């Protein structure tokens, strides 16, 4: 009888342990974003959360926090390093590693087909960006295209495609050498102004235009002050889909695969979504009375070549070896997508 009671007790304990294991608390992942709640990037973050929850049977639950609710992208990145924020879809903060400015180099891609190859997770560019982030304790899961970047102005530019002519306008740039060297090399006059002050600066005439906005961002943030949009497609607006290295290391291989697949799906979808939204918002610009200047790749080539001619100036801040690799790899992509 004693043995039977002991065996029964052991069985009950084992059943309780199994039940407890089966109902272990899920891993809650805070997914920080910087776009508004109704932005298509935020919608894709929500789809990511649904996919992960479903494929992990609830073992991982992703909570989306859009519109800088957890802080701006620099602060969020610091928290990713610490592991206090688990995931983010944010701009790459180059103040932690100047080489991450590589994403904003002017003129290395001018089409959605090229962007798809640049952002390919098996490609050189992605691997380099992952390398830079990994050294800081952050894992890059995907690169999310928000759109192509042109130039918006309050006045018409003089001979805009001629890199040898002053454009007759003062253009605001972010505080990055990748913008300054390229644009000044193509005879744009530039001024550095904080992002938060761009609207007022254009409204009051402190500057005549901006070179850092995507099509969608220019329309939504500056639509009632700009008069011209130049569709230069000179660089991209890109978010990194990132996870804290401290969190990544604690996740099982099976769940890592789920997260990576969901991020890759989100990134791949962004190329198609960006193209559709760019086309949509160009039409909205025209409807609003903004003059949209469209160009073919052939028409843009002199400007792109002028930008590329300045890349050597980035050797001092990015490293000559890196820039030599960059030029070689980007030429491969350009040659493969005409």
Domains assigned to the chain? 11-336 (3.40.190.170)
3-state secondary structure of 84: coil
Q: Rounded to an integer, what distance in angstroms lies between the CA atom of residue 209 and that of residue 225?
A: 10
pTM above 0.85, yes or no: yes
Q: Rounded to an integer, what distance in angstroms lies between the CA atom of residue 147 and that of residue 168?
A: 27
Kindly indicate the confidence band of residue 110, based on its pLDDT and cuts at 50, 70 and 90. Answer: confident
Kindly indicate the confidence band of residue 24, based on its pLDDT and cuts at 50, 70 and 90. Answer: confident
What pLDDT shows up at residue 23? 58
Structure tokens at 280: 């949509």
Q: Which of 33, 32, 36 is nearest to 221 (CA)?
A: 36
Percent of the chain with pLDDT over 90: 88
Whether 81 shows a pLDDT value over 90: the answer reads yes
């Amino acid at each position: 009888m004693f043995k039977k009671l002991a065996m029964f007790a052991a069985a009950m304990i084992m059943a309780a342990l199994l039940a407890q294991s089966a109902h272990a608390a899920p891993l809650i992942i805070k997914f920080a974003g910087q776009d508004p709640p109704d932005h298509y990037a935020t919608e894709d973050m929500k789809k990511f959360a649904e996919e992960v929850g479903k494929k992990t049977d609830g073992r991982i639950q992703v909570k989306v926090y859009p519109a800088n609710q957890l802080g701006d992208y620099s602060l969020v990145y610091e928290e990713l390093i610490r592991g206090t924020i688990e995931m983010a879809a944010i701009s790459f903060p180059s103040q932690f590693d100047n080489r991450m400015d590589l994403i904003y180099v002017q003129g290395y891609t001018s089409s959605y087909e090229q962007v798809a190859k640049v952002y390919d997770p098996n490609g050189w560019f992605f691997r380099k960006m992952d390398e830079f982030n990994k050294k800081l304790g952050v894992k890059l899961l995907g690169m999310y295209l928000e759109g192509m970047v042109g130039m918006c102005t309050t006045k018409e530019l003089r001979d805009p495609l001629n890199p040898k002519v002053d454009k007759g306008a003062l253009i605001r740039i972010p505080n990055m050498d990748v913008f300054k060297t390229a644009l000044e090399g193509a005879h744009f006059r530039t001024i550095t102004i904080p992002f938060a002050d761009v609207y007022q600066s254009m409204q009051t005439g402190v500057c005549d235009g901006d070179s850092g906005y995507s099509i969608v961002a220019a329309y939504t943030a500056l639509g009632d002050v700009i008069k011209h949009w130049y569709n230069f497609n000179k660089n991209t607006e890109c978010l990194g889909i990132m996870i804290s290295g401290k969190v990544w290391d604690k996740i099982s291989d099976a769940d890592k695969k789920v997260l990576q697949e969901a991020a890759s799906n989100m990134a791949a979808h962004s190329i198609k979504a960006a193209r559709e939204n760019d086309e949509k918002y160009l039409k909205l610009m025209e409807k609003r009375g903004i003059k949209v200047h469209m160009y073919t790749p052939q028409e843009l080539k002199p400007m792109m070549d002028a930008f590329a001619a300045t890349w050597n100036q980035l050797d001092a801040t990015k490293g000559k070896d890196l820039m030599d690799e960059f030029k070689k790899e980007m030429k491969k992509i350009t040659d493969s997508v005409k």
